[in-house]
Amino acid sequence: MGLPVKRHTSSKRKRRRSHLAIQECNLVKCSHCGNQALSHRVCGQCGYYKGIQIIDVFTKLDKKEKKKKEKELAMQGKKVALEEKESAINEKEIEKNTKEISQERKKTNDLLKNKKKS
Q: What string of H, E and C letters represents the secondary structure of 56-103?
A: CCCCCCCHHHHHHHHHHHHHHHHHHHHHHHHHHHHHHHHHHHHHHHHH
pLDDT tens sequence across 32-70: 888 889 989 998 888 889 888 888 877 777 777 777 877
Residues, the chain, total?
A: 118
At residue 18, the pLDDT reads 92
Residue 7 neighbours by CB distance under 10 Å: 8
Largest CA distance in the chain: 103
Dihedral, CA of residue 55, residue 61, residue 66 and residue 72, to nearest 10: -60
Q: In whole numbers, what is the pLDDT of the chain averaged over residues?
A: 82
As a whole number, mean pLDDT of residues 6-28 equals: 91
Q: Using a cut of 0.85, tell me whether the model's pTM lies above it.
A: no
* Half-sphere exposure (Cβ direction) of 86: Cα atoms closer than 13 Å: 6
d(CA 98, CA 104): 10
Asked if the model's pLDDT at residue 118 lies above 70, the reply is no
